[in-house]
Amino acid sequence: MIWGICMKTRLILGLSVLASIAFLTHSQAQPTSTFERLEKCFYNSAKPTDLCGFVRVPENRLDPNNQRQIKIAVIVRKATAPNPKPDPIVVLEGGPGVSGTSRYASPNASNATRDFILIDQRGTGYSQPLLDCATEAQNARQFTTLSQLAFCQQRLSSQIDLRAYSTEQNAEDVIAVVQALGYSSWNMIGLSYGTRLGLTVLHKNPMGLRSAVLDGVLATHVNASDLISDVFLVWNRIFGKQKALINNLAQEIEQGKNPTSMAGLWWTLLATADGTTLETRLRLIRNKLAVPTDPRVLTLSTNPDRNYSLPMALSVSCPEDFINTNFGQVLSKLDPTWNKSLVQQSILEFSNRLTQCRAWNAEARERLRGFVKSNVPTLILGDTHDTQTPLEWASPTAQNLGNAQQITTQTLGHVITGRPCGAALFQTFVNNPNQAVAGDLLPECKGLIVPNPK
């Protein structure tokens, strides 16, 4: 999932040098924090062996005048095996804005042999402060949602340095959490936006990082807004046989012969990673038996949402991926073989997010760009049917990283480690990260492994 909007309910630049920008190196980080364990965990279903608590970190490490600290919520799910491995798995959740501890009930892989460390990235979940707009939503009678966003941004920014809610600071928080827990060796897995976060951690070269798995790569050499055009690369690959049907349906919508909105069709394509299922859906739409709508209509929760923080998503994705988009470059990559109105809908989706970013008063912020280099063994996972982080983003990342192996699957969609094949690839790699993973020999991956794109 990208574009900073939660899709959990549905499961959801070209140079080999890094830009010279003012980022923290890890040696500049604050002294090691401590882990403050809670007697009662965030979730009632917690086991007695689980560790739940907070790690205090600076709010803004780049501002020496800011002495405020924030609290990062952490759950350590202890390994269940009698003789567990000493190196845990740190899970970096997606979004941005999705709570990491919300994965408590169903982590991506078994924690039988290794501890799992689940982190609520700053501004999300049970971390403090939680960025939310519940106050504005409760007083929303005469205001549009965009106005609510603007009021929310004004209120939060009067109390919180929203500039510090960034991928850069997130990465430092991850390292601080591991240090506070006292692990000398550790592994990490990044999911969707968590791969961008993971690449930033890799760039910092923290002590003890043994291996990394990046699943559904939101690469550092692209903007999330590149999906406007790059999604057509994926659609050409997986919906080629249905393209005529899709274009004809789009034409019917243009002519008012079908009640479906163009946005509903666009999101149907984005959410469907299987050609056969898509054809069934499209025929239902064409026969007016199903009228999908845009599932991402912007609404604000009247209660604090500890599963997903839209303000955190906007604070990260707007300054880092949308405000500074080279729109002309994106337009030049649009595929004219698709229905014109459907292509225009893709542009409109970007425009809608940009409007939200402007309501949020976001200003462009530099982040890590270009290709990351690292000696840490890394497994890059991508899928031919990933409509949210296209496979075309994963391959250059793997080829330039330095010590990476890439495995490509087919038909599994976005973030594959939640499926048996992806989980098997993950476990096999983490057990021996210096050895090539023979994915095609794993029974869980039979018929699913395909050659990596060149």
- Please, which pLDDT band fits residue 137 given cuts at 50, 70 and 90? confident
The mean pLDDT of the chain is 87
Distance CA 5, CA 144 (A): 19
Q: Is residue 38 a contact partner of residue 53, using CB atoms and an 8 Å limit?
A: yes
Quote the longest CA-to-CA distance of the chain.
Answer: 66
Residue 28 pLDDT > 60: no
For 300-341, the pLDDT digits (tens) are 777 888 999 999 999 999 999 999 888 888 888 899 999 999
For 32-82, the pLDDT digits (tens) are 789 999 999 998 888 888 999 999 999 999 998 999 999 999 999 999 888
For 237-263, the pLDDT digits (tens) are 988 888 998 999 999 999 998 888 898
Distance CA 86, CA 113 (A): 9
- Please, which pLDDT band fits residue 171 given cuts at 50, 70 and 90? very high
Q: Is residue 75 a contact partner of residue 101, using CB atoms and an 8 Å limit?
A: yes
Q: Residue count of the chain, please give it.
A: 454
- Please, which pLDDT band fits residue 16 given cuts at 50, 70 and 90? very low
8-129+153-222+369-450 is classed CATH 3.40.50.1820: yes
**pTM score:** 0.91
Query: What pLDDT is recorded for position 136?
Result: 84
* Span 403-429, average pLDDT: 95
- Please, which pLDDT band fits residue 145 given cuts at 50, 70 and 90? confident
For 340-376, the pLDDT digits (tens) are 999 999 999 888 889 999 999 999 999 999 999 999 9
- What is the distance of C-alpha 24 from the center of its chain? 22
* Span 154-161, average pLDDT: 96
Query: What pLDDT is recorded for position 21?
Result: 36
Distance CA 102, CA 44 (A): 12
Distance CA 400, CA 185 (A): 25
Question: Nearest Cα to 425, choosing from 129, 63, 133, 109?
Answer: 109
Delimiting residues of CATH 3.40.50.1820 domain(s) in the chain: 8-129+153-222+369-450
Query: What pLDDT is recorded for position 1?
Result: 55
Contacts of 322 (CB under 8 A, 6+ apart): 223, 224, 225, 350, 353, 354, 357, 362
Question: Nearest Cα to 375, choosing from 332, 328, 310, 434?
Answer: 434
